[in-house]
DNA sequence: GTCTATATCGGGATAGAC
DNA sequence: GTCTATCCCGATATAGAC
């Protein structure tokens, strides 16, 4: 608990960003929680925006390195043969679920990341795209090789859907409570549940793209 | 485009909330976009918080009524027999995808809704839970009847995962662009893709809950 | 119902002592 | 590296004329 000021600020910011969002979180809240002085943020990071970037960078870099290392290991073992989809899914999302299971800030961070992924805030999304570029390229290649029968565009959407399911998975029981009372699952169970679901979705029969022109009643624009 | 002031404010707020989030969106931005006076928000809605609620209410009430009507129709036709999972999924998520396909504010609203669902902001989440209570109860019952072999807790998680996939689906190409360049799909194609994925996930083999104690390398807490 | 003007507050950032 | 004090800005909300 008594890390240096810089780390305490990052921990506090991560937690408060998750709970209140970027804008609603003030530097005053952060420094109060971190038992640091208000001016310390600008001293250590230069600006609030730079602090946000650093909150992501310190964990995301590590996370994606783990993913690439996991893929390296799988591909070395396969000796050029295509991997099983299940292996690829497990290596990509497993690393994330494991981080989310980390009792320290890992869970908080993964929830924050999932929420941020769809936020339209220009500067955060550009930053994320850069951080992800390398790992995405590797996994796309691995998936395309493993699933040659799935059109690439179809696969990209399924990957996107998987990210959505994963994001809600780590966002956890808080959100789920809208569906009704439920226990917070232990991480192993959550991992198993999510993997079944993801593999099921990934391997589902391909859709008929020219499908039904679903009835479309007019939606109201005002009360 | 020349609706009354109240509607113009709701339209502008919906769009700006989606783009910038609740806190980053100021009443000044809203009234400027709506060609209304700054004081008009407080006159028509009383406060920013009440405005936020009204933005959700005006579309969500209708959306969930459609869902219940769709389920009523299916159950009437089935005459007491369990529905097919596919029918239930299509009626719940189909209504949403159709609203998202609406060229007016529907798409904006669905994106906003998906993002808000996992936001921890107390007051919005409580509000959403109330708005959803009736429809969730109905759909839970229908699913439990249709899938008696799936444990209820397992199903709730799968429902939650489906909501996540759906949320990312409507959040659309903006977020997907992190995965690489891709066309904005036409709504029919998106609908077909998502349904395949959701059904595949919902019907996946049940996970082994006592599964592997995934290796857990330590994650870093600071740079 | 719509405007202008303003009260009140709290934000990010910085200067400069220690 | 850490503090106090402060600048400057823009936020929500309201008062009161029209």
Residue at B195 is within a domain: yes
B38, closest nucleotide (Cα–C1'): C3
Measured over the CA atoms of residue A201, residue A202, residue A207 and residue A213, the dihedral's sign is positive
CB A10 within 8 A of CB A54: yes
Domain assignment present for residue B194? The answer is: yes
**Same domain, residue pair B78 and B24:** no
Q: Chain B: nearest CA to A15, how far in angstroms?
A: 12
Number of CB atoms found within 10 A of residue B176's CB: 22
Contacts of A20 in chain B (CB under 8 A): 120-121
* Whether residues A61 and A119 fall in one domain: yes
Which residue is nearest nucleotide C15, judged by alpha carbon to C1' distance?
A39
Q: How far: A131 CA to C14 C1' (Å)? A: 31
Q: Are A145 and A164 contained in the same domain?
A: yes
pLDDT (0 to 100) of residue B44 = 95
How many structural domains comprise chain A? Answer: 2
Task: Give the pLDDT of residue A138.
Answer: 96
The reply to whether B94 falls in a domain is yes
Q: Are residues B148 and B181 in the same domain?
A: yes
Residue B102 lies in a domain: yes
For A179-210, the pLDDT digits (tens) are 777 777 788 899 999 999 999 999 999 998 75
The pLDDT of residue B120: 67
Answer yes or no: is A183 within a domain.
yes
Domain co-membership, B67 together with B123: yes
> What is the per-residue pLDDT for A213?
45
B24 plus B86 within the same structural domain: no
Below-70 pLDDT ranges, chain A: 1-2, 120, 173, 210-223
Nucleotide nearest to B5 (CA to C1'): C1
Q: Which residues of chain B have pLDDT under 50?
A: 211-216, 221-223
Same-domain pairing of A9 and A64: no
The CATH number that applies at residue B18 is 1.10.10.60
Q: What is the pLDDT of residue A223?
A: 36
Q: Which two tokens stand for residue A223?
A: 């009360």
Residues B173-206 have pLDDT tens digits of: 677 777 777 777 788 899 999 999 999 999 999 9
Q: Are residues A137 and A107 in the same domain?
A: yes
DSSP assignment of chain B:
----HHHHHHHHHHHHHHHH-TTT--HHHHHHHTT--HHHHHHHHSSHHHHHHHHHHHHHHHHHHHHHHHHHHHHHHHTTSPPPHHHHHHHHHHHHHHHHH-TTTHHHHHHHHHHHHT---HHHHHHHHHHHHHHHHHHHHHHHHH-TTS-HHHHHHHHHHHHHHHHHHHHHHHHHGGG---PPPPHHHHHHHHHHHHHHHHTSPPP-TT------PPPPS--
- Tokens representing A96 are 């994330």
Is the Cα torsion angle A56, B120, A197, B165 positive or negative in sign? negative
Q: Are A174 and A193 in the same domain?
A: yes
**Tokens 């809605």 — which residue?**
B45
Say yes or no: B140 contacts chain A, CB-CB below 8 A.
yes
Instruction: Please tell me the distance from the alpha carbon of residue A181 to that of residue A201, in angstroms, as a whole number.
Output: 26
Return chain B residues 99..118 having CB < 7 Å to nucleic acid strand C: none
B21-50 residues touching A, CB cutoff 8 A: 21-24
Distance CA B102, CA A216 (A): 9
pTM of full prediction above 0.85: yes
Question: Which domain covers residue A166, as residue numbers?
Answer: 56-202
- For residues A85 and A172, state if they share a domain: yes
pLDDT above 70 covers a percentage of chain A that reads 92
Distance CA A33, CA A31 (A): 5
In a domain, residue A160? The reply is yes
pLDDT score of B223:
37
Q: According to the model, what pLDDT value does residue A2 have?
A: 63
Whether B49 sits with its Cβ under 7 A from any strand D atom: the answer reads yes
d(CA B94, CA B191): 7
- Residues in CB range of B193: below 8 A, 6 or more apart: A154, A157, A158, A161, A207, A209, B169, B185
Residues B174 and B78 occupy one common structural domain: yes
> Residue B34 CB closer than 7 angstroms to strand C?
no
**A188 lies in a domain?**
yes
CA atoms within 13 A on the CB side of B185: 22
Q: Is B181 within 8 Å of chain A by CB?
A: no
pLDDT of residue A100: 93
CATH of the domain at B78: 1.10.357.10
Rounded to whole angstroms, how far apart are CA atoms B77 and B66?
Answer: 17
Asked if A53 has any chain B CB less than 8 Å from its own CB, the reply is no
Specify if A221 maps to a domain: no
Q: Is the CB of B38 under 7 A from strand D?
A: yes
Instruction: Give the model's pLDDT for residue B126.
Output: 80
Q: Which residue is nearest to nucleotide C10 (CA to C1')?
A: A26
What is the pLDDT at residue A222? Answer: 43
- Same-domain status, B103 and B68: yes
């Amino acid at each position: 608990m008594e890390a240096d000021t810089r780390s305490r600020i990052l921990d506090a910011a991560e937690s408060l960003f998750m709970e209140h969002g970027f804008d609603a979180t003030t530097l005053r809240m952060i420094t109060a929680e971190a038992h640091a002085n208000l001016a310390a943020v600008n001293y250590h990071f230069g600006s609030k925006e730079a602090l946000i970037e650093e909150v992501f960078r310190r964990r995301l870099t590590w996370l994606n390195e783990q993913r690439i290392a996991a893929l390296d290991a799988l591909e070395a073992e396969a000796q050029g043969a295509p991997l099983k989809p299940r292996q690829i899914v497990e290596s990509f999302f497993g690393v994330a679920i494991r981080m989310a299971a980390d009792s320290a800030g890992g869970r908080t961070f993964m929830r924050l990341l999932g929420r941020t992924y769809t936020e339209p805030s220009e500067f955060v999304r550009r930053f994320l795209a850069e951080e992800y570029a390398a790992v995405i390229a590797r996994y796309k290649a691995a998936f395309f090789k493993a699933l040659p029968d799935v059109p690439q565009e179809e696969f990209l959407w399924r990957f996107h859907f998987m990210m959505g399911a994963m994001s809600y998975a780590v966002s956890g029981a808080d959100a789920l409570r809208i569906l009704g009372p439920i226990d917070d699952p232990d991480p192993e169970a959550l991992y198993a549940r999510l993997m079944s679901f993801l593999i099921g979705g990934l391997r589902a029969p391909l859709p008929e793209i020219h499908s039904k022109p679903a009835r479309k009643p007019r939606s109201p624009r005002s009360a």
